Amino acid sequence: MAIGWYLVVSALIFCTGAGGVLARRNPLVILLCLELMLNGANLALVAFARMWGTEAGQVFALIVMVVAAAEVTVGLGLIVAIYRRRLPVDVDELSELHG
Amino acid sequence: MSAVLFFIAALGAISGAIGVVMLRNPFYSVLALAFHLVSLAALFLLLRAEFVAAGQVVVYAGAVMVLYVFVVAYVGGGEQLPSGGVLRVLGPLFAIALAVELCIAMLGSGLAGIKGKGAPFIPGFGTPRHIGKLFLTTYLFPFEAASILLLVAAVGAVVLARRRRGLEGAEEPELRVRAPRPAYTGTMAEAAGIRPGAREEEPEPEVETVGSAHGADEGGW
């Protein structure tokens, strides 16, 4: 398959994730949608690595996976802390820092 | 053959992504994300990124998904939040507009590299041997920075999610008042027949100042 089709798939995954981040209200699902966006970027990076025949893009994708794992641990820790303090698990209600 | 595999994997990846966004129950969203990740690993394999695909399956679809499942099981599905507001309409519209624009840009571009099938295959491209050599020579600094980042994230998650006494104690102080009660009820020493007078040498805790004053003349002890 041409590299362009991989890029189209990555763009679709990224846009799905972006729409989910904007539309959903559960912070768990928002974290999942962030994962989708990172995965879309990862697919584009690996596709470009294939296009150029160098492995730098794959190294970058691995670093992105590391950053995603770190983001997931901190985000899930935040969600557990929110739940422990009996606050609503809803990003629209958690607006204490909002302006 | 590769075209068929590409279509199957791409369909799986996109449907998994849509499932993550559309499903109402967060647990099903997590399962859809796991399906999406496995399909994406197949796409990585088609792009000859073997090590990235293996890492995707082991780290993402294995470890991170287990973390998600645990947190969903702990927090629970939550009440099904009703959709509403401006962003609920504008978000999908923005996503669709972005997708259309990106597809036009990708498919309509005149770049020769995107139309082709990629660079000629080098033996060993994407194997752990090559990636590891790159990580320990050219990209040594990002490698170390990533390890420090993981350490910081692990410590931060533990600090965030631990059972804390400091912050919550300020709002709701722990009630430790020992209410007065009749003799021979309660402690194991009394159950064993030791008279309450036998433990008079124990220092009484200082906290029972509130209830014990009028509790004593009500005749408990």
pLDDT of residue B215: 45
Domain with A74, as residue range(s), is 3-84
Tell me the pLDDT band of A34, cut-offs 50, 70 and 90. very high
Measure in Å the smallest separation between the Cα of A41 and chain B Cα atoms.
12
Q: Do A81 and B47 touch (CB under 8 A)?
A: no
Q: Sort out which chain B residues have CB atoms less than 8 A from A4's CB and list them.
A: 106-107, 109, 114-115
Does a structural domain hold residue A63? yes
pLDDT for B216 beyond 50: no
Does a structural domain hold residue A52? yes
Does a structural domain hold residue A9? yes
Q: How many domains does chain A have?
A: 1
Gap between the Cα atoms of B15 and A83, Å rounded? 30
Token pair, residue B56, equals 């995707």
Question: Looking at this predicted complex, what is its ipTM?
Answer: 0.92
Tell me the pLDDT band of B220, cut-offs 50, 70 and 90. very low
Residue pLDDT, tens place only, A45-63: 999 999 988 889 999 999 9
Does a structural domain hold residue A60? yes
Q: Which long-range contacts (CB under 8 A, 24 or more apart) does B75-79 make?
A: B75/A28, B75/A79, B75/A80, B75/A83, B75/A89, B77/B25, B77/B26, B77/B27, B78/A26, B78/A89, B78/A90, B78/B26
Does a structural domain hold residue A96? no
Does a structural domain hold residue A89? no
For residue B177, CA distances in Å to B188, B194, B205, B208, B209 come to 19, 24, 10, 5, 8
> In this structure, what CATH number is given to the domain that contains residue A18?
1.10.287.3510
Does a structural domain hold residue A98? no
Report percent pLDDT > 70 for chain B. Answer: 70
pLDDT for B191 beyond 80: no
Q: Searching chain A, which residue's CA lies closest to the CA of residue B110?
A: A4
Does a structural domain hold residue A57? yes
Token pair, residue B197, equals 């007078």
Mean pLDDT within A6-23: 93
Are A47 and B47 contacting, i.e. CB atoms less than 8 angstroms apart? yes
